[in-house]
Structure 1
Amino acid sequence: MNSPSKRSRQLNIFLMPDAFKGSLTSSEVADALATGIRRAAPTATINALPMADGGEGTVDALVTAVGGTRHTVEVTGPEHHPVAATYGLLPDGRAVIELASAAGLPLTATPNAEATTTYGVGELLNRLGSHRLLVGAGGSATHDLGCGAAAACGVKFFDDTGRAFVPTGATLGQIARIDASGVRRPRSMTVLTDITNPLLGPEGAAATFAPQKGADDAMVRRLEAATTHAAAVIARDVGVEVEHLIGGGAAGGFAAGMHAFFNAELKSGIDAVLDTVGFDELAVQADLILTGEGQLDGQSLAGKVPIGVARRTNTPVIAVVGAIGPGAHEVYEHGIMAIHSITPGPQDLDTALADTAQNLATTAENILRTWLAASVSR
């Protein structure tokens, strides 16, 4: 019988995890998985490609995967105060922006979907407009349809008295006229989203995502009404219909606004990342792919990293996750071979977060030992 060590020399394993939010970045998750794999298969070839789906970590994932440089500049944050925002420049000349870096929920002291702005994202667009842009739309604290970003790039919004202003969620309903004739458009823009929700309705931006940004039921209703009004004015004055745009509800309607004001293409974030790293060519070299995220559930089917990876390859894909949520069994129909939760037993949240790296390593080791045992038995 062959020993696991002999078999392990033939193994080529790819690690393609998303971040475990609140605990580890995608790079740190990959490092922890690699630690466990080496315990079971010390001579295996390990290729780490940290992933992201358009939210936090997109800049780091792409810069790490294909090479590039990170840069930090000061812009207007979601609560209208200066923040340090990071962007990436890739070898092919593209620039990568994370909305979350300039208008993300962690940048707010008190989340308030009616008060926050994407103006700082527009400042980044101005700075990087000569590049082809990839703009990750996840993790926002905002619900301004990207009007803040558009205003920073020369779009003018007027109320019914003729006063120019920069709309936020609370004042979208006050937009009486839009003048986009002076807009400074980047060379090209692709908005990366991890959801397919439309702008309006029961699965729209306000109903689905505003509660995560401090909105109670009354605020959700106000935001829905104001968004409906703003979408109608955009259609009339800009000539672009965004109400039913697939994925337009991403980041409080930011995706819809970027499509309307900048002619941005909306694309699945994970697919764009996989395209950029050349995933289809790499995957055929792998014997096994380990992916994962903080929680895998039915919502992961909308475009989260594990599903995006599994859908594009026939290579066995195993998901290593912090928690398994409702509807997770559906992922088996989309290419996931197995799901493993890293939680070893009942733990309080603080302990689970503190032990994430250790638990990831232990789980990866157990997966590889099982894989090797199955390989030896064949």
Structure 2
Amino acid sequence: MKVVVAIDSFKGSLSSYELGEAIELGVKVVYPNAKVIKVPIADGGEGTVESLVEGTEGKFVKVVANNPLMEKIEAIYGIMGDGKTAVIEMAAASGLPLIEKEKRNPMKTTTYGTGELVKDAILKGCREFVIGIGGSATNDAGLGMMQALGYKFLDENKKELGFGGEILSKVRYIDASNKMKELNECNFLVACDVDNPFYGPKGAAEIYSRQKGATEEMVKLLDEGLCDLAAVIKKELGIDVSNMAGAGAAGGLGGGLVAFLNGKLSPGIDMILEKVGLEKELAGVDFVITGEGRLDFQTAMGKAPVGVAKIAKKFSIPVIALAGGVADEAVETHKKGIDSFFSIMNYPMTLEDAMKKENAKKFVKSNTEEIFRLIKVCETRCSK
């Protein structure tokens, strides 16, 4: 028996790696000699650093950086096992949870701290970057990140501007004379799973800024600012991010990464699975185990479990999914390559209790064991 486990984290409960360990224990109760290959994965959001670092035997790096309100915090990013690829979740330094609800204001918040993480990785020799851009507290189009990397943004009088979404409409000139020279040697892959344009009815400000603390007046000002900035970017850099799919991600950071750092936007799960080398692990595999905290309609639209199933089906390998919760709409995942799915919950309990590590590990192990007991029964009958 050979099994590959490629399961996304159960957010707030178990990491991808911890889930892999619990599943392995369950498999080996039934098949003690089974070979279980654990491939930690994520979809570009929370858990991306952990999965890519652990999946490639890399290392974690702690640095002091600025949060979205320019207050010092300790943030973590990762360097993959190749020693040259940095994995950064922008939420580590510029995420919404870093700010108390009453202090959230996208006119003031900045991605400067994310730029500090990139700068630190460059100084440590990294030239390849994987950037996850979910969970932002910002709507500054990445200008803060670029300021940390040496860019200056000037107003009509060529005076240097400050930070936050409030400067978007004031930018008239882009000064790259002091940007880090090493940036010309760097490649940026950006995990982006939304297709919002830079501005407009479906743009960064209109769709996302309210949850970051924007009033209706701020939404209008931020949207107008992104429109003005897009015109300046086109004039100064010759790049049109206006209607680019994904440019509006993370408050316009998607567009900023493309415009200033030649970033490549890509669906998160596709990028992660390529980086961890899932496909090469599938030779001779009997089953693939995948899943995430909750299976629902979003899963079927291309989240991590479906990305795993897509690759497994190239080799006609059966795919089983485990989840903390399973919505009715999860049946749609059958059309996307997941052959069977199971909730790990065996009896009613509060969400708080269900998410406790000791409970989740126990349920994952026991349900995996029962699944493979059934597989063994079928295997025995088929061999007669």
TM class by smaller structure: 0.7 to 0.9
| Matching of residue 101 in structure 1 with residue 101 in structure 2 | no
Distance 1:112 1:374 in 2: 58
Name the SS of the counterpart of 1:336 in structure 2. Answer: coil
Q: What is the one-letter code of the residue matched to 1:252?
A: G
8 Å contact 1:191–1:264 — kept in the other structure? yes
| Superposed counterparts of 1:5-154, under 5 Å | 11-92=1-82, 93-110=84-101, 111-129=104-122, 130=125, 131-154=127-150
Distance 1:140 1:41 in 2: 44
Post-superposition CA distance 1:294-318 (Å, at most 9, x none):
2222223454211211112222222
| Matching of residue 289 in structure 1 with residue 293 in structure 2 | no
Unmatched runs of 5 consecutive residues or more in structure 2: none
8 Å contact 2:39–2:278 — kept in the other structure? no
| Superposed counterparts of 1:290-369, under 5 Å | 290-314=289-313, 315-325=317-327, 327-354=329-356, 355-369=359-373
Task: State which drifts further: 199-208 or 230-239.
Answer: 199-208
Task: State which drifts further: 193-202 or 257-266.
Answer: 193-202
Distance 1:202 1:357 in 2: 43
Change (3 A) 1:164 1:49: same
Name the SS of the counterpart of 1:83 in structure 2. Answer: strand
Distance 2:68 2:47 in 1: 18
Distance 2:213 2:203 in 1: 16
TM-score by length of 2: 0.86
Name the SS of the counterpart of 1:290 in structure 2. Answer: strand
Change (3 A) 1:217 1:333: farther
Q: Which residue of 2 aligns with 1:3?
A: none
Q: How many residues align?
A: 368
8 Å contact 1:190–1:267 — kept in the other structure? yes
Name the SS of the counterpart of 1:347 in structure 2. Answer: coil
Q: Which residue of 1 aligns with 2:381?
A: 377
Q: What is the one-letter code of the residue matched to 2:371?
A: I
Unmatched runs of 5 consecutive residues or more in structure 1: 1-10
Q: What is the one-letter code of the residue matched to 1:137?
A: I
8 Å contact 1:147–1:166 — kept in the other structure? no
Change (3 A) 1:155 1:338: same
Task: State which drifts further: 17-26 or 133-142.
Answer: 133-142
Q: What is the one-letter code of the residue matched to 1:12?
A: K
8 Å contact 2:151–2:177 — kept in the other structure? yes
Runs of 4+ in 1 over 6 A off after TM superposition: none
Change (3 A) 1:208 1:51: farther
Q: What is the one-letter code of the residue matched to 2:35?
A: T
Q: Which residue of 2 aligns with 1:7?
A: none
Name the SS of the counterpart of 1:318 in structure 2. Answer: strand
8 Å contact 1:26–1:51 — kept in the other structure? yes
Change (3 A) 1:228 1:375: farther
Q: What is the one-letter code of the residue matched to 1:285?
A: G
Distance 2:136 2:198 in 1: 15
Please provide the CA RMSD for this pair: 2.4
